[in-house]
Amino acid sequence: MKILLASSSFSGGGITCYAHEIINNYSIDNDFSVIIGNDDQNPITKEGIKVYKYNCSDISFENISRIVQLINDEIKPDVLISSCAKAISIALP
């Protein structure tokens, strides 16, 4: 299964508090990707995870178009987990 986790950053509450646990557990038998705006505080270090850096707070047409194209044409996830990713909430209702 292809899983995509989208988040503005891995700091704060909600899913971002346990994002690394989600990545570690769900990437074992799955193709796992992450779209993130900033992972400076808690960088993704697990091997085999595809990380795409996009500003998930930028709701401009240009940014959302790039993210939609990335998701539809390259990542093609079966499951999308969104956490504090405004662009994802607007692009993929």
Over residues 13-49, the pLDDT tens digits come to 666 667 888 898 999 999 999 998 877 777 888 889 9
- The larger pLDDT score, comparing residue 92 to residue 28, is at 28
pTM equals 0.85
- The larger pLDDT score, comparing residue 19 to residue 84, is at 19
Buried b (16+ CB within 10 A) or exposed e, 14-35: ebbeebeebbeeebeeebbbbb
pLDDT of residue 89: 77
- The larger pLDDT score, comparing residue 63 to residue 89, is at 63
CB 75 within 8 A of CB 33: yes
